[in-house]
Structure 1
Amino acid sequence: MDDAILPFQIDSSGLRGRSARLGAALDAILDRHDYPAPVAGLLGETVTLAALLASTLKYDGVFTLQTKGDGPVSLMVADVTSTGDIRGYARFDANRLPHDGTPTFRDLLGAGHLAFTVDQGEHTERYQGIVELTGDTLAECLTHYFRQSEQINAGLKLAVGRGDAGWRAGGLMLQRLPDQEKIIPASDREDDWRRAMILMESATDAELLDPGLAPSRLLYRLFHEDGVRVFDPQPVRDRCRCSRDKVTAALTAIPRAELETLKIDGRVEVNCEFCNTTYRFDDADLDRLKEEARAES
Structure 2
Amino acid sequence: MTLGSKIAWDDTVLPFQLDRSDVRGRVARLDGVLDRVLEQHDYPPVIESLVAEMALLTALIGQTIKLRWKLSLQVRGDGPARLIATDYYAPAAEGEPARIRAYASFDRDRLAEGGDPFAQIGKGYFAILIDQGKGNLPYQGITPISGGSLVSCAEAYFAQSEQLPTRFELSFGRSTMAGEGETWRAGGMMLQTMPKASPFAKEGASGDDGLLAAEDILEGDEEENWSRANILLDSVEEMELIGPHVQPTELLVRLFHEEAPRVYDPQPVEFGCPCSEERVRNSLSIYSAKDIAKMTTDEGVVTADCQFCGAHYRLDPATVGFEANGDD
TM-score (norm 1): 0.89
Unaligned runs of 5+ in 1: none
Q: Quote the Cα distance in structure 2 between the aligned partners of 1:91 and 1:201.
A: 33
Q: 2: CA distance between counterparts of 1:288 and 1:263?
A: 12
**Within 2, Cα distance between the matches of 1:104 and 1:272?**
25
Question: Secondary structure of 1:152's match?
Answer: coil
Contact 2:99 2:271 in 1 (8 A): yes
Aligned partners of 2:281 and 2:321 also within 8 Å = no
Task: Give the alignment of 1:54-133 within 5 angstroms.
Answer: 54-83=62-91, 84-99=98-113, 101-105=114-118, 107-133=119-145
Matches within 5 A, 1:148-163: 148-163=160-175
Distance 2:233 2:51 in 1: 23
Once residues 98 and 161 of structure 1 are traced to their aligned partners in structure 2, the CA distance between those partners, rounded to angstroms, is 19
Q: Matches of 2:275 and 2:242 in 1, distance apart?
A: 30
C-alpha deviations, 1:192-211, integer Å up to 9, x for none?
A: 22121122122122221113
Structure-to-structure mapping, 1:137-286, within 5 angstroms: 137-164=149-176, 165-179=182-196, 187-266=220-299, 267-281=301-315, 285-286=316-317
1:188, 1:246 → 2: CA distance? 51
- CA–CA distance in structure 1, aligned partners of residues 271 and 25 of structure 2: 23
Distance change >3 Å, CA 257–CA 169, structure 1 → 2: same
- Between the aligned partners of 2:26 and 2:104, the Cα distance in structure 1 is 25
Alpha-carbon separation, structure 1, partners of 2:193 and 2:282? 45
Residue 310 of structure 2 aligns to a residue whose secondary structure is: coil
If each structure's helix is expressed as a fraction of its own residues, which one has the higher value? 1
Counterpart Cα distance in 2 of 1:102 and 1:45? 16
Residue-pair matches, total: 289
Is 209-218 or 240-249 further displaced after alignment? Answer: 209-218
Measured against aligned partners, the alpha-carbon deviations of 1:146-172 in whole angstroms (never above 9, x if no partner) come to 222322211111112111241222111
The separation in 1 between residues aligned to 2:198 and 2:244, in whole angstroms, is 37
Does the C-alpha gap of structure 1 residues 269 and 295 become closer, same or farther in structure 2, counting only changes over 3 Å?
closer
> What's the CA shift string for 1:33-56, capped at 9, x where partnerless?
021111111111111111111111
SS at match of 2:158: helix
Shift of the alpha carbon at 1:122?
A: 4.0
Superposed displacement of residue 98, structure 1: 0.4
Q: Check conservation: 1:161, 1:209, Cα contact below 8 A.
A: no
> What is the TM-score when the length of structure 2 is the normalising length?
0.81
After superposition, the CA RMSD in angstroms is 2.5
